[in-house]
């Protein structure tokens, strides 16, 4: 029986390790992205595939998600598993998607086209699997901010409504006309929408021009409006989001610190022995523990930690020092062993010869860096010059070889393992860019000579790599390097943010495609198709939208939808893109069906919702992220623990 | 001799008081604004006046400034006066303006038109007179931020240049065309300008469309660009400005706190007597001092302060408590004496009769507030309805009398001095809005019946006042009131900010007028003038600028210039307004003179400079202002001193 129990325990432990194995996590993410990526092949598709193929892949994904969930259930106590809303969410999403698939398939067989509405739920898998802790944290932060934001938003909307009422009274009876010749500011709801758009500054002078043409006094109305609603209220939104973000962050950090301390105290209580009046942990036990939890660190590093923890060398560690152990282990102590260069090891005579020494001192000289900075600048000029000139395309080879020589010289001079250590971001960056450029250039040349065919994709990559090389010049200036390092440190957080953006964009893209697909068509410039100049829609004849050639800004497939949503995020012209165009289109199409007014307003709601969610909430969180990162960088002082270690290192010499 | 010296001292003291008298300060500000306002009448003028008139007024202003400066010199030690750059600045500005006036006048007499370039210097008077301490502080803050900002800006420009180079290589050889049919992304400098404008999101989809039409892959280039340069770098700018602002603020506050403490310790040292082992200030002396420095506070308030300072009632105040006195005096203790209503005093029988008591309890009831909230909502609906209907215009009288009745009832119920106390912002707001509306409505009606003439200005004011009344509804909801109060607290800082904006706008407006005046003309809609549809400039034929009817966006006078600069601040469409129009115009006009390229680029520099100064620096400082104000509001906890007073009040019952 005991044996049985032990084997069950072993099995459970194995299952647990398997669940947390990186391959399993990677596989989960792979299938999540496959599931999301299906939108590219589903109708309306970038690359159309039959429904059977996409639905089979989707079912496969769902099976994988279900399997993963079952696996998680096996390694989690039952009551914990069922209490977790994450798991319930996933189960419901799987079930709902299956039902939708069956209904859609059945209707498809009987030739009725319906809507695959469950596609909207796909990002739920990305959010709710246990690995996406960061994204969930951001969502939690959004949820916490909501009440506060709602109040400010209501006040903001009240202000917009008030100004709209004023605008109606001031301009409504003046018989003014907009550029398109329609009546200016006569319908209250349209004024509200126009003034809401003015907050995003998208229709900035246009909305003002008729009144301004009438009398310049009226510009004061719009200036007051912009100052209050764009500058004041948008800053208040940022303040609310940022304040909440900071508060939230503080709470999480406090909670984590408390948990850590609590666990360390528990460990201390298990290991403690009485020494005089106080409880302590003996040196031998301490060492054993450190060996167990951090098997990778060197003996000298462990000795250093012991010296820090047991300053007076009494042969034991007291409670206060013991609790600090977790922090101590987190600090990277870089062993600055001056390793001998492998070449010196293999052929010391050659490596230490006069020529070799001269080369090495040359590379270490400041002038070497400066020379290469000058070379980069000259290269920049050459890149800007005309590619067709054969002299210049040969120059490219010269530059490429110069860069390769630089890297070889550096590896020759500096110890390779130190040169390519984890912390040397710029060395990694340089080397990979140069190698990639070398491969791409060779590929391009061989393709050209082999088939007289100049692959555009390869050439584009070559161009980009060539320009990226120039970034290196920033690294030469100390002040820039600091800013760049902060920017690089932000990258991981930005990835979380990218995940969040993906979730929101995906949901809006799916809805947008269902609402607006096919309403606007793109034709190539020389197309002779009917209504080619009106984006395939007679309603857009002579509209600003068609004249500005915005036809490709449509919701006809997932990539276009993403691009349009990106444009909406950047905010400018969404009035043009959407109000003028799509609502006009909807107006036209749905007028016949008698739904004009309702859907017209509903379409506007879609874009206002997007603005509220993305610009007011998410972009502000992004800005809060970046602000916080920079403030931390500015106020970065060495923590107490780090100082203790540094002092010890200095003491020990 | 002694008498002489004393009378000199007295005279100096009188001069000093005179210098700081509020009428003198108001007069100085009056003449500063007269001087700035001259731009309205000077060529290019809104209301043209002969040069003689404007120049005489300007000389008068300069005399006033000079007199003020001489006055300041008399009350300041000589070495202090000459060391202060402010004074030197004013003197140089006066001198330079005079020289410019003389040269311009002399040339005018000999019929040569030159440029009144010294007008550019007028904001110097606004900044440098001793009263504008706040604006100078903001300028100091900008100066301190400059080095940091410069580094980030260089890095940002480097990024723009890099992306431009990439764009040139990627799109330059594709033979793509923009909407206007010109070659797309072939000239490096134009790409740099276009991508710089993209940072402001002003040309957001337009600049991308040709590449996006070619292949949707290229949208990735623009998305990367926007993420890095618009979101990342603009947030970094905000972070740098905000961080600096906070640091600066902390330093100023620390300095002020130090100064205060230092002075209080000095005062203590003068008054101290030895009591046992420590030095103290006797109660009698303490009271005398408080009477001297704060003659307005009541005896009971003074007793309270003494009880706080001398907790154990020993009859003296120790050093620590004494130093706290300045803070104690700053706290407003509102004496909650329940004053009797004047009506109760005059005719107690009527005021305390059953009817009167019923009215008073009714007004104090919650239902009263709710009733008026409902009335306000109904009023909002009526305002939105058509004005021409006689029923509705009568309803306006009903609402107006309802509001007046409300105020009368409230003044009847509550003590008038308490109702109109300084802290009751909303009561003041309501009453003044209602009285103004009453006056304006009566004025409008009498004008209408007397002359059948409907004054538009008066009517506009009536409309605005009518809508402003609705704001009151916000005050009924607790959560909104908190946000509104914070917003109202920001107002004084916003005024400083308005001064700053005025200075920068004025300078840019003067330069803009000299550069671009008369290039674009505005004609009313039915004008038959030559080139009326092209804004009076054949170069603008068929341009987007003319088609969008932007003709009134010009630099032909100071008000138009201010409006255009405001539009540039709001950022959107400045590409349209400026690049498309003015550079095109300049191109056309100056091509003949052979200065085309140089002035073309110079005009762009004007707008980039404006963007950097206003959007990157000043708007970010504004946002920092607002953020800080809200964070302070959020973290507002009662200070230690306030708590001490409250505790004492509770103790004393």
Contact B559 A216 (CB under 8 A): yes
**Alpha carbons B301 and B308: distance in angstroms, whole number:** 11
Tell if the CB–CB gap between B470 and A226 is shorter than 8 Å: no
Residues on chain B touching A236 (C-beta within 8 angstroms): 483, 487, 626, 630
Q: What is the mean pLDDT of residues B576-594?
A: 40
For chain B, positions 363-392, list CB contacts with chain A under 8 A: 380, 383-384, 387
Q: Tell me, what's the pLDDT at B272?
A: 83
What's the pLDDT tens digit per position in B93-141? 999 999 999 998 888 888 887 888 888 888 888 888 766 777 887 787 7
Confidence of residue A526 (pLDDT cuts 50, 70, 90): low
Q: Does residue B466 sit at the A interface (CB-CB below 8 Å)?
A: yes
Chain A contact set for B567 (CB, 8 A): 204-205, 208
CB-closest option in B205, B384, B566 to A165: B384
Structural contact between residues B608 and B157, judged by C-beta atoms closer than 8 angstroms: no
- Chain segment B436-447, per-residue pLDDT in tens: 888 888 888 888
A2: pLDDT confidence band, cut at 50, 70 and 90?
Answer: low
Closest of A230, A176, A232 to residue A206, by C-alpha? A176
- Concatenating the DSSP letter of every residue in B277-326 gives TEEEEEHHHHHHHHHHH-TTS-HHHHHHHHHHHSTT--SEEEHHHHHTHH
A177-195: average pLDDT: 79
Ramachandran quadrant class, A43 (left: phi over 0; alpha: psi -120 to 50; beta: rest): beta
Under 8 Å between Cβ of A219 and A211: yes
CB distance B239–A626 less than 8 Å? yes
CB of A123 closer than 8 Å to CB of A506: yes
CB proximity list for B70: less than 8 A, separation 6 or greater: none
Q: Is the pLDDT of residue B210 over 90?
A: no
- The encoded tokens of residue B432 equal 């003044």
Give me the mean pLDDT over the B43-47 stretch. 80
Test mutation, A488, A569, A572, chain B, max B CBs within 10 A: A572
Is residue A61 very low, low, confident or very high in pLDDT (cuts 50, 70, 90)? Answer: very high
Q: Report the DSSP pairing between strands B273-275 and A316-318.
A: unpaired
User: Pick from B151, B490, B570: which is nearest to A479 by CB?
Assistant: B151
Tell me which of A288 and B616 has the higher pLDDT.
A288
Q: Is the bond preceding residue A44 a cis peptide, omega within 30 degrees? A: yes
B237: which chain A residues are within 8 Å (Cβ-Cβ)? Answer: none
Nearest CA in chain B to A221: B464
Residue with token string 């984590």: A256
**Is A223 touching B (CB cutoff 8 A)?**
yes
Judged by CB atoms within 8 Å, which residues 540-559 of A form the interface with B? 547-550, 552-553, 559
Query: Taking a C-beta distance cutoff of 8 angstroms, is the pair B75, B92 a contact?
Result: no
Tokens at A373, concatenated: 């900075």
Q: Which of B217-226, B272-281, B333-342 has the lowest mean pLDDT?
A: B333-342
pLDDT range class, residue B539, cuts 50, 70, 90: low
Q: What is the ipTM of this complex?
A: 0.75
Residue from A148, A164, A205 to probe the interface with B (highest B Cβ count within 10 Å): A205
What is the distance between the alpha carbons of residues B94 and A431, in angstroms, rounded to a whole number?
A: 61
- In order, the DSSP letters of A558-594 are HHHHHHHHHHHHH-TTHIIIIIIIIIHHHHHHHHTTT
Q: Residue B547 and residue A179: Cβ atoms within 8 Å?
A: yes
Q: What percent of chain A has pLDDT over 90?
A: 4
Dihedral of CA atoms B153, B155, B157, B160 in degrees, nearest 10, equals -140
Cα(B461)–Cα(B440) distance, integer angstroms: 7
Annotate A95-127 with three-state secondary structure: HHHHHHHHHHHHHHHCCCCCCCHHHHHCHHHHH
What confidence score (pLDDT) does residue B555 get?
Answer: 76
Contact A204 B460 (CB under 8 A): no
Interface test with B, best of A145, A163, A197, A235 (most B CBs within 10 A): A235
**Tens of pLDDT, residues A451-477:** 666 667 777 788 888 888 888 787 777
Encode pLDDT of B52-73 as tens digits.
888 999 999 999 999 998 988 8
> A2, exposed or middle or buried, with CB in 10 Å at 0-12, 13-18, 19+?
exposed
Q: Which of B632, B641, B646, B621 is nearest to B239 (CA)?
A: B621
CA angle A8, A9, A13 (to 5 degrees): 115
Mutate: best of B191, B204, B232, partner A, most A CBs <10 A: B204
Check if B532 contacts A (Cβ < 8 Å): no
Helices first, then strands: H and E counts in chain A: 31, 3
Distance (Å) from the alpha carbon of A416 to chain B's nearest alpha carbon = 30
Task: Say if CB B383 and CB B466 are below 8 A apart.
Answer: yes
Please tell me the distance from the alpha carbon of residue A1 to that of residue A14, in angstroms, as a whole number: 20
List the A316-318 sheet strands across, edge first: A273-275, A278-282, A316-318
Q: How far is A492 from chain B (nearest CA, A)?
A: 14
Residue A206 sits at the vertex; the CA angle it makes with A202 and A207, to the nearest 5 degrees, is: 85
| SS3 label, residue B215 | coil
pLDDT in tens, B230-243: 888 888 888 888 88
Name the nearest CA neighbour of A364 among A399, A409, A408, A400.
Answer: A409
Of A566, A622, A627, which has the smallest distance from its Cβ to B239's Cβ? A627
**Residue closest to A36 by CA, chosen among A94, A128, A123, A104:** A123
Q: What is the pLDDT of residues A190-237, one digit of tens each?
A: 888 888 878 777 666 677 778 877 777 788 888 888 888 888 888 888
Least confident of A300-304, A599-603, B507-511: A599-603
- A74-93: average pLDDT: 87
Residue of chain A minimizing CA distance to B458: A170
- Is residue A583 over pLDDT 50? no
Give the A window 606-635 contacts with B, CB below 8 Å.
619, 622-623, 626-627, 630-631, 634
Do A82 and A76 touch, CB atoms closer than 8 A? no
| pLDDT grade for B587, boundaries at 50, 70 and 90 | very low
- How does DSSP assign B329-382, residue by residue? HHS-------PPPHHHHH-HHHHTSHHHHHHHHHHHSHHHHHHHHHHHHHHHHH
User: In this complex, is the C-beta atom of A173 within 8 Å of any C-beta atom belonging to chain B?
Assistant: yes
- Measured between CA atoms, the residue of chain A closest to residue B220 is A563
- Which parts of B524-577 are beta strand (E)? none
Q: Is A240 on the interface with B (CB under 8 A)?
A: yes
- In this prediction, residues A80-96 reach a mean pLDDT of 89
Do B623 and B582 contact (CB within 8 A), yes or no?
no
Contact B165 A470 (CB under 8 A): yes
Using alpha carbons, list the distances in angstroms from residue A527 to A32, A524, A534, B55: 39, 5, 12, 65
C-alpha closest to that of A499 among A246, A24, A134 = A134
- Nearest 5 degrees, angle CA A143-CA A145-CA A151? 120
Cis peptide bond N-terminal to B299, omega within 30: no
Distance from CA of A533 to the nearest CA of B (A): 12
At A649 the pLDDT is 61
Residue B596 has pLDDT above 50, yes or no: no
Q: Write the DSSP string, A14-75.
A: HHHHHHH-HHHHHHHHHHHHHHHHGGGTSSS-SS---HHHHHHHHHHHHHHHHHHHHHHHHT
pLDDT at A60 over 90: yes
Query: Hey, is B224 helix, strand or coil?
Result: helix
Residue B577: its chain A contacts at CB < 8 A? 205
**Looking at CA atoms only, how far is residue A237 from chain B in angstroms?**
9
Looking at beta carbons, which residues of chain B come within 8 Å of A240? 630
What does the pLDDT read at residue B12? Answer: 75
Q: Mean of the per-residue pLDDT values for chain B? A: 77
Q: How far is B523 from chain A (nearest CA, A)?
A: 9
In this structure, are strands A278-282 and A316-318 parallel, antiparallel, or unpaired? Answer: antiparallel
Distance CA B108, CA B76 (A): 41
Q: What is the mean pLDDT of residues B13-19?
A: 80
- When mean pLDDT is compared across A233-247, A531-545, B54-68, the lowest value belongs to A531-545
Q: What are phi and psi of B280, to 5 degrees?
A: -140, 175
Burial bucket for residue B222 (CB in 10 Å: 0-12, 13-18, 19+): buried
Smallest CA–CA distance, residue B641 to chain A, in Å, is 26
Higher pLDDT, A584 or B197: B197
Residue B128 Cα, gap to closest chain A Cα (Å): 27
Q: Which of A165, A188, A460 sits opposite B467 (nearest CB)?
A: A165
**CA distance between the termini of chain B:** 59
Of A42-46, A272-276, A374-378, A394-398, highest mean pLDDT: A374-378
CB proximity A471 to B under 8 Å: yes
d(CA B557, CA B44): 5
Output the six-digit token pair for B446.
């009498």
Q: Which of B169, B561, B564 to mutate to test the interface with A (most CBs of A within 10 A)?
A: B169
- Record: contact B201-A571, CB cut-off 8 A: yes
CA–CA dist A204, B345 (Å, integer): 59
pLDDT at B551: 67
- Give whichever of A91-100, A433-442, B344-353 has the largest mean pLDDT: A91-100
Task: Say yes or no to pLDDT of A597 above 70.
Answer: no
Would the CB atoms of B563 and A216 count as touching at under 8 Å? Answer: yes
- Interchain contact, A480 vs B563, CB within 8 Å: no
Task: Find residues 489-518 of chain B whose CB sits inside 8 Å of chain A.
Answer: 490
* Gap between the Cα atoms of A410 and B222, Å rounded: 35
- Min Cα distance B557 → chain A (Å) is 11
pLDDT for the residue B173: 76
CA distances from A461 to A165, A444, A466, A563, B227 (A): 55, 10, 8, 21, 20
A162 neighbourhood in chain B, CB within 8 Å: 467-468, 470-471
For residue A599, what pLDDT is reported?
Answer: 46
Q: What is the helix (H) or strand (E) element at residue B229, kind and residue range?
A: none
Cα end-to-end span (Å), chain A:
59
């Amino acid at each position: 029986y005991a044996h049985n129990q032990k084997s069950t325990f072993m099995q459970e432990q194995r299952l647990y390790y398997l669940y947390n194995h990186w391959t399993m996590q990677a596989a989960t993410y792979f299938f999540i992205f496959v599931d999301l990526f299906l939108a590219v092949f589903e109708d309306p598709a970038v690359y159309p595939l039959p429904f059977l193929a996409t639905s089979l892949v989707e079912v496969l994904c769902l099976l994988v998600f279900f399997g993963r969930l079952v696996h998680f259930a096996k390694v989690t106590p039952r009551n914990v598993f069922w209490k977790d809303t994450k798991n319930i969410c996933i189960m419901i999403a799987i079930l709902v998607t299956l039902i939708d698939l069956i209904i859609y398939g059945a209707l498809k067989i009987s030739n009725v086209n319906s809507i695959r509405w469950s596609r909207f739920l796909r990002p739920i898998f990305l959010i709710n699997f246990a690995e996406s802790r960061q994204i969930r944290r951001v969502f939690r932060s959004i949820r916490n901010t909501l009440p506060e934001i709602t109040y400010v938003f209501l006040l903001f909307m009240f202000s917009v409504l008030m100004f709209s009422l004023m605008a109606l009274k001031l301009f409504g009876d003046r018989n003014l006309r907009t550029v398109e010749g329609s009546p200016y500011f006569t319908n209250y709801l349209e004024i509200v929408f126009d003034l809401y758009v003015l907050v995003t500054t998208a229709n900035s002078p246009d909305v003002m021009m008729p009144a301004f043409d009438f009398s310049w006094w009226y510009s004061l109305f719009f200036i007051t409006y912009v100052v209050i609603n764009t500058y004041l209220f948008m800053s208040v939104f940022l303040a609310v989001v940022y304040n909440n973000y900071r508060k939230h962050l503080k709470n999480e950090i406090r909670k984590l610190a408390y948990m850590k301390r609590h666990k360390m105290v528990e460990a201390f209580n298990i290991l403690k022995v009485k020494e005089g009046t106080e409880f302590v942990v003996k040196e031998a036990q301490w060492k054993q523990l450190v060996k167990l939890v951090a098997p990778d660190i060197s003996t000298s590093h462990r000795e250093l930690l012991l010296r820090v923890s047991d300053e007076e060398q009494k042969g034991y560690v007291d409670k206060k020092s013991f609790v600090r152990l977790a922090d101590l282990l987190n600090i990277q102590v870089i062993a600055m062993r001056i390793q001998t260069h492998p070449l010196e090891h293999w052929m010391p005579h050659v490596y230490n010869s006069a020529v070799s020494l001269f080369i090495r001192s040359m590379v270490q000289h400041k002038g070497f860096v400066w020379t290469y900075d000058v070379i980069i600048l000259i290269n920049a000029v050459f890149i800007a010059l005309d590619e067709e000139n054969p002299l210049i395309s040969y120059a490219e080879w010269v530059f490429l070889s110069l860069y390769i020589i630089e890297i070889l010289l550096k590896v020759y001079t500096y110890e390779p393992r130190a040169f390519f250590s984890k912390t040397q971001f710029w060395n990694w960056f340089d080397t990979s860019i140069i190698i990639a450029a070398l491969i791409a250039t060779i590929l391009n040349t061989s393709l050209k000579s082999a088939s007289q065919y100049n692959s555009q994709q390869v050439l584009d990559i070559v161009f980009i790599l060539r320009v990226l090389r120039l970034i290196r010049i920033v690294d030469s200036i100390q002040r820039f390097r600091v800013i760049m390092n902060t920017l690089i440190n932000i990258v991981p957080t930005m990835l979380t943010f990218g995940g969040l953006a993906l979730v929101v964009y995906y949901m809006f893209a799916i809805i947008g495609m269902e609402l607006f697909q096919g309403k606007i068509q793109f034709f190539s410039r020389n197309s002779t198709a009917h209504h080619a100049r009106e984006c395939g829609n007679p309603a857009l004849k002579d509209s600003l939208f068609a004249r500005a050639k915005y036809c490709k800004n449509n919701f006809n497939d997932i990539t276009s939808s993403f691009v349009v949503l990106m444009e909406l995020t950047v905010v400018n012209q969404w009035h043009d893109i959407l109000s003028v165009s799509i609502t006009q289109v909807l107006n036209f199409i749905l007028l016949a069906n008698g739904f004009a007014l309702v859907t017209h307003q509903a379409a506007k709601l879609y874009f206002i919702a997007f603005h509220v969610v993305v610009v007011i909430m998410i972009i502000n969180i992004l800005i809060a992220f970046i602000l916080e990162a920079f403030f931390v960088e500015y106020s970065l002082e060495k923590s107490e623990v780090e100082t203790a270690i540094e002092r010890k290192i200095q003491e020990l010499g």
